[in-house]
Amino acid sequence: MNYEKFCNQLIELVGGKENIQSVTNCMTRLRFKLNNRSLAKTEEIKELPDVIDVVSNDVAYQVIIGTQVQDIRPEINQILGLSGEGNQSEPAEKENFVTMALRVLSEAMGPILIPIMAAGLLAGILSLLSLTGLVSAESSTYMILDAIRQSVFFFLPVLIAISFGRQLGVNEYLAVTIALTMMSETINGAAGLDFLGLKLPETTYSNSFFPIILSIIFMKYVGKALEKLIPKAMQYFFNPVLTLIITLPVTLILFGPLGMYIGDGLNFVFDFIGGTFGNWMVVMLYAALQPFLITIGAGNFIIPIFMNSYATLGYDPVFTAAWIVSDIAVCGAVMGYFFRSKDKKQKQLFGTTAFSAFMGVTEPAVYGVFVKYRRPYIAVMIGGGLGGLFAGLMNVVGYAPVSLFGIASFIGESNYRNFYMMVIAVIIGFVGAAVAAFILGIPDDEKIKEKQVEPVGSNAEAVTKLLIKAPVKGKNVALSNVNDKAFSSSALGKGLGIEPEEDTIHAPVNGEIVSLFPTNHAIGIKTEYGVELLIHIGINTVELEGQYFESFVKQGDKVSVGDAILKADMAGIRNAGYDPVVITVITNTADYLDVLPTSDPSLNNNEDCLTVVV
């Protein structure tokens, strides 16, 4: 176990074994399903040497690692005692249907991508071998190797059955049995079939995508119903066969046609867009915006769309070309920074992440460079947008889902123009992003003030996060629970509340008093880094007209962390019928990537309560 120490550290920091329901992975990230996300120590996880970043959204708690995730995830599962892709125990908190669907779709797509990408790359290699004459397309060698590619797409329902069955807690072998039955000679594409006198539509299930997904979802609910209806002593014998004989007819009668209608509907949408506006618009937008989708962990959501295109059309008119152009634009943007930077450490970062992006893995560049400097997003919008625009206008289509190294697959069956146009689009994307990044420059590069991963107060030359101390001792109150809509809605900025246990308010940062209300119930502080804080004592306490409040500072004063700045008679405020909660918000939250409140239930005024992610 090469990553045993790292895995144990990570398990502890996400809240321990008992807080983990399941662990899955895509090409570069671990996706945790946690019982309680507030137990995860996100900032500490980010400090681990193998971690690039952490993304937490409605889909999953995602730890970005890199391509070594393929080795790390099995080790974590071994330590946790989980088999396969994760633990199929019921979630501690009930998920709504949309959240569950997005999570399952995202997590189930990752494993399927591995053989699909391999088949796509193989298609590119075979195209090159055939083009150069090294291997004839009519030879047995070519046909044997091509059988791998054909099998991956022909038996796609089987791969989907395994992955979705695993994610939904359905017996994988029963799921595969349904998929194989759908693809059998008796059913697949057969005409004139009926079930108990009910005529079945002629449906081709090989290469299909949606029918098997609908079938596995239905199978999950059939299994749950049978567990309630069948006595436990008889479930082992009867539940599997009943699951199959109930699921299969419903699939053939309902889900097969419905899945095909969904696929045809998607094709109609893109035909309409192409006929009305042109596919170039979608290709351009996706090539320009893909890094944003990666940042929020939504990169897998296009998979059903382009897989449906391959299954029904035999090619993808939009996304394959777009993501390759976008990937190479990411590489170009980081290379632009590589040539612009004069700092050796930066050059090493830009060089390694550029190589990773060139290989088709862009997360290290996105989380290691883009999130940090922001301007590369603009560079990719320019370069990727131009490359995507060209590919779209030239009607470039993908014949296999591949990365840059499978670009030869764009030849298809002797479609050399398609290949040449794709090569030009890739060049435009790379050069455009590289030049744009070079011109946009690295923020404060000359003064070496790019934000390093160090907290304020260290001897580091600059920062990526600013730590805000608690202004008063007391109990942590989530901002959303504060009884004031202006604060609870975060309209005034992100932050937190503290139920005070003392009367003195201390400066949470080094900075300047930029505002002090005449009633002394609220005070504004600006730090040397530009962070603007508002400390507001109590709800509607302005009505007290300064009673119970005393100020130790005036506007324009400089303060240091821990200095006493205000005093409030908390008991008097309570007795007057007011809530004395002390609210601290970052009023210029929009200037930063995020403001993260601590999850500690109680705070002292020498403890960090907010992290401003620069």
Rounded Cα gap, residues 358 and 31, in angstroms: 24
- Find out whether 580 and 500 touch, Cβ atoms under 8 Å: yes
The helix or strand, by DSSP H or E, that contains position 341, with its residue range, turns out to be: none
- Find out whether 468 and 584 touch, Cβ atoms under 8 Å: yes
All residues at 6 or more sequence positions from 230 whose CB lies less than 8 Å from its CB, including other chains: 238, 239, 242
- Find out whether 600 and 43 touch, Cβ atoms under 8 Å: no
Rounded Cα gap, residues 163 and 112, in angstroms: 7
Residue type, 325: V
Catalytic status, residue 26: yes
Token pair belonging to 433 = 């992003």
Q: Closest Cα to residue 166, out of 305, 30, 303, 22?
A: 22
Q: Closest Cα to residue 116, out of 148, 86, 72?
A: 148
Q: Rounded to 5 degrees, what are φ and ψ at 414?
A: 65, 30
> Looking up tokens 């929009």, which residue turns up?
590
Rounded Cα gap, residues 390 and 602, in angstroms: 57
Q: Closest Cα to residue 145, out of 163, 131, 129, 157?
A: 129
Cα-Cα-Cα-Cα dihedral of 8, 9, 13, 19, to 10°? 0
Rounded Cα gap, residues 45 and 32, in angstroms: 13
Q: Rounded to 5 degrees, what are φ and ψ at 53?
A: -170, 175
Token pair belonging to 441 = 């420059």
Classify residue 28 by burial, with Cβ atoms within 10 Å: 0-12, 13-18, 19+: buried
Q: Which is catalytic among the residues 7, 26, 331, 609? A: 26
Q: Closest Cα to residue 301, out of 313, 293, 311?
A: 293
Residues carrying an active site annotation: 26
